[in-house]
Chain A
Amino acid sequence: DAGVIQSPRHEVTEMGQEVTLRCKPISGHNSLFWYRQTMMRGLELLIYFNNNVPIDDSGMPEDRFSAKMPNASFSTLKIQPSEPRDSAVYFCASSSQQGVEKLFFGSGTQLSVL
Chain B
Amino acid sequence: GNSVTQMEGPVTLSEEAFLTINCTYTATGYPSLFWYVQYPGEGLQLLLKATKADDKGSNKGFEATYRKETTSFHLEKGSVQVSDSAVYFCALSALSSSGGSNYKLTFGKGTLLTVNP
Using a CB–CB distance below 8 Å, which chain A residues touch chain B? 4, 31, 33, 42-43, 45, 48, 50, 55-56, 91, 93, 98-108
Contact = CB atoms under 8 A, between A and B. Distances in A.
Nearest to A110: B41
B43 interface: yes
A45 B2 CA distance: 13
A16 to B, nearest CB: 29
Interface of B: 32, 34, 41-46, 49, 51, 89, 93, 101-105, 107-110
A42 B8 CA distance: 13
21 contacts: A4-B43, A31-B103, A33-B103, A42-B108, A43-B44, A43-B105, A43-B110, A45-B105, A50-B103, A56-B104, A93-B43, A99-B102, A100-B93, A100-B105, A101-B32, A101-B49, A102-B46, A103-B46, A103-B105, A104-B43, A108-B43
B38 to A, nearest CB: 8
Given A43-B89, A105-B44, A100 B102 contact: yes
Q: Which 5 A-B pairs have the closest CB atoms?
A: A105-B43, A43-B107, A105-B44, A42-B109, A98-B101
